[in-house]
Structure formats: C-alpha cells, structure tokens
C-alpha cells in the first residue's frame, strides 16, 4: 500500500473543501453574494473546482472565450522558446526567460514537450488535446499573485526533476509510469497554494487545517486538487480503474513527501539506505522512494542554481514570507518565524535554509548519484551562493554598525551643542 493510501472522499466532499479554500485570501470575494449564489448552482454540476479555477471554468461553461489566448506569440518568440526546449536538460536553463517567451505559459509548454520527449503520450495512449486541457487547468490553479508559489515555480521544479530523472544511477531503472508520476507530481505539487504556510492555516482555524487534522495540510490539498483535475479532465479515463487509483495514490505519496516538516524523516531514511547499500531500484517501492527524494530535491533546488536565478527565487520566497507577516500583523496574530521583514533579512534566511535544509539533502543526493557532473555542479553553486549571501550579510551588519555609530555621534554632538561647546 502506497503512503497516504486512504480512500478518496466523495466528489461532494472535495467540492466542499474547494468551496471553503482560503477564505482569507480575498475578503471581497467572500462578501460577494452573487458569487456565493453561483457556487450553489455549480454544486449541482459534479465538477471539482477550486476557488481560483471557478472563474475560468464558469466563463467556459457559458461559452465565453477568454480574452487572452494561450499562445499569442510571434514567430521570433516561438523560435526562441523552441530553442530553449532543445536545452531543457541543462542545469542553467532560465525558467524566467522561458516563461516570458511563452507568454506566461511555461508550465503547459514545458510539460507538453517533456511528455512527448519521454514517449509518455504514445505509451499511455494519451489524447493530446485532453493532456493540454489538463495542464492548462493545473497552470491556472496556481495563484499568479504569489511571488514564489506560482506556476513558474512549478515549471522550475518540473525542469529540475527532468534533469534528475536523467541521472544514470536512476534513469536505467525508471519505467514510463515512474517518469509520468515524477513529472505530474512536480507540476502539481503546489497547486492552489494560498501564499501562506501551514502554521498560519492552523492558528487561523482554517477549514483545511481542520479537514486534514493539522497534518500536511497544504500538501494534502495540493494532492486532492490534482486528483480532482485528473478526474475532471478525464486524462486517464481510458485506463483501468485499478491503474487510475494506483496513479492517484502514488501522486499523493510523492506530493506529501514535499512537506518540509518531514525533511529529517526522509533524510534519515536516505542515509540509512546508502549506508546499508540496500536500495534495489529494480523494486518498485525503492524506485518510488528515490522519486520522493528527487522531488524533494527539485522543490528546494533554488540555492543550487546560478546566482542570478537563485537570487531571484530567494527574493521571491522572502517577499511571500513578509506578506504573510504583514497579514499576521494586520490581524493581531503572532508573526511567524522568517516573516518579520524588520528582523528576518533575506541573507540570514537563505544562509539558514542552505545550512540546515539544502546542504544535508543534496550531499546525500550526490552520494546516491555517485558525484555526477550535475551533482557536483549543484553543490558548487550552493557553496558559491552561500558565500555570496554571507558577504551580503556581513555588509548589512557593517552598515548597521556604521549607522548606529553615526547616530551615537549625532547624539553626542547635540549634547555638546546644548552645553554650549563646539563639537
């Protein structure tokens, strides 16, 4: 039995969950009686809709064509995007540039390409139109207003896991199902993320926190949302029921593994396997475990990217932290760790993250892969980036001390002037 192999709730329960998703995100929506009434009518239609996708889908159901189509690109941009896709397996792949070249459709474009490259469309007899529709649903279910947890992050994680799945130690054992699971889990692992963390949901007594009993709240929601979209799109409807169920459960196990609170659990297991040399990748459970590790690495690989990209991701995630802190302050809640912009600086946050979370995991990943060029490249970037953040932190401290000294000098001068002396 795969981890998280619990019976999926009925469509009514899932709809109820989605209808209650993240009421604090936009209070104007909650106070809109017309919107509330429309949700009631949609309950009669057995569609599994999230808060965000409701607007897109309701327009489509009424026959209204979205104002901006997916691919309003001129040939020059398309050519550049195609050229980038030819190098999608390179670690210096610039997902920010790719997202601009695809008019904000990096996730859909990337997944369509990778499904084709890996032969998954042919192997699983997937309908290309249905696949595209499913991927659009996933992409639109990400909140574009989130600085970090958005569709570009999902595309970045997907590109990273594509690189990891090509590592020789792993690649020779992977089945088409393993590859499809890895790509789907990467693409949907943060879907419908509200831009706040689990502790926030718990202390605000959010519906989802209660539903999942304060355990992997966001990850459970990401998984259930993904299952809802798979069923709604009917992407896998042609497969036997048992196979569909197995895919849903394995996706859940992979997505749940990205819970940062379980970091030590997985790291301890990985160290034990490597020490005992008892990983047998011919066995499905061991391959699945390494897929979990690969997804965890991909999810936190930003510090292992080139500095220019790594720095952007660092600034984005901290901006999201700070927004949560501002929200907590606004509602007189205790400000969560790392969310106080006045106390938690970007360099200090990143140095701690690299030291206690990223380095231990990627060092073990390198041990697993046998210190391949990719693993060495990532660790080298990680060390250089950490050194740059240390340098920036040192400059901040020096500047702070200089400012404090200037303030003290000014106060002394004022005291001297008040005493009638020349400074």
Count CB-CB contacts under 10 A for residue 383.
14
Distant-in-sequence contacts of 383-387, Cβ < 8 A, 24+ apart? 384/307, 385/303, 385/304, 385/307, 385/310, 385/311, 385/350, 385/354, 386/303, 386/350, 386/351, 386/354, 386/355
Quick one: CA torsion of 230, 234, 235, 236, rounded to 10 degrees? 90
Whole-angstrom distance, CA of residue 132 vs CA of residue 139: 10
150 is in an annotated binding site: yes
Nearest to 301 by CA among 286, 317, 289: 317
76 is in an annotated binding site: no
Let me know if 206 is a catalytic residue: no
- Catalytic annotation, pick one of 118, 132, 149, 288: 149
Whole-angstrom distance, CA of residue 371 vs CA of residue 192: 36
Nearest to 325 by CA among 314, 337, 313, 309: 337
Whole-angstrom distance, CA of residue 201 vs CA of residue 210: 9
The phi-psi region of residue 234 (left if phi > 0; otherwise alpha if psi is between -120 and 50; otherwise beta) is left
Nearest to 163 by CA among 178, 183, 181: 183
299 is in an annotated binding site: yes
Nearest to 176 by CA among 233, 134, 114, 132: 114
151 is in an annotated binding site: yes
Which residues does 304 contact at the CB level (< 8 Å), separation at least 6?
A: 310, 358, 362, 378, 379, 381, 382, 385
Which residues does 298 contact at the CB level (< 8 Å), separation at least 6?
A: 157, 158, 160, 161, 164, 186
Residues belonging to the binding site for Zn(2+) are 153, 189-190, 299
Residues belonging to the binding site are 149-153, 189-190, 299, 350
Active site (catalytic) residues? 149
Residues belonging to the binding site for AMP are 149-153, 190, 299, 350
């Amino acid at each position: 039995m795969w981890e998280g192999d619990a019976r999926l709730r009925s469509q009514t329960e899932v709809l109820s969950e989605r209808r209650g998703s993240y009421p604090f995100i936009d209070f104007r929506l909650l106070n809109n009686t017309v919107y509330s009434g429309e949700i009631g009518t949609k309950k009669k239609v057995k569609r599994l809709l999230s808060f965000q996708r409701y607007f897109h889908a309701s327009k489509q159901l009424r026959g209204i064509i979205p104002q901006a189509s997916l691919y309003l690109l001129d040939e020059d941009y398309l050519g550049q995007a195609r050229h980038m896709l030819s190098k999608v397996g390179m670690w210096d792949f610039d997902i920010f540039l790719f997202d601009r070249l695809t008019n904000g459709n990096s996730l859909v474009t990337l997944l369509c390409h990778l499904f084709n490259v890996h032969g998954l469309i042919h192997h699983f007899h997937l309908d290309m139109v249905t696949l595209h529709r499913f991927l659009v649903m996933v992409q639109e279910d990400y909140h574009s207003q989130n600085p970090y947890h958005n569709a570009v992050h999902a595309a970045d994680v997907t590109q990273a896991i594509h690189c990891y799945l090509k590592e020789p130690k792993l690649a020779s054992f992977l089945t088409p199902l393993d590859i499809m699971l890895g790509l789907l889990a990467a693409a949907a692992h943060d879907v419908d993320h509200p831009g706040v963390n689990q502790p926030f949901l718990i202390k605000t007594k959010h519906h989802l926190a209660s539903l999942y009993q304060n355990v992997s709240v966001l990850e459970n929601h990401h998984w259930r949302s993904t299952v809802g979209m798979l069923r709604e799109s009917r992407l896998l409807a042609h497969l036997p029921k048992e196979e569909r169920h197995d895919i849903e459960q394995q996706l859940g196990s992979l997505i749940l593994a990205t819970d940062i609170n379980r970091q030590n659990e997985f790291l301890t297991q990985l160290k034990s396997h490597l020490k005992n040399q008892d990983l047998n990748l011919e066995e499905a459970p061991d391959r699945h475990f390494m897929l979990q590790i690969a997804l965890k690495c991909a999810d936190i690989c930003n510090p292992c990217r080139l500095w220019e990209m790594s720095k952007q991701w660092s600034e984005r995630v901290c901006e999201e932290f700070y927004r949560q802190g501002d929200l907590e302050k606004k509602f007189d809640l205790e400000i969560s760790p790392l969310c106080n912009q006045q106390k938690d600086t970007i360099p200090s946050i990143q140095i701690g993250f690299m030291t206690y979370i990223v380095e231990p995991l990627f060092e073990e990943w390198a041990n697993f892969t046998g210190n391949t060029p990719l693993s060495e490249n990532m660790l080298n970037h990680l060390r250089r980036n950490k050194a740059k953040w240390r340098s920036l932190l040192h400059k901040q401290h020096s500047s702070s001390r200089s400012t404090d000294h200037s303030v003290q000098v000014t106060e002394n001068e004022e005291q001297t002037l008040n005493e009638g002396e020349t400074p």
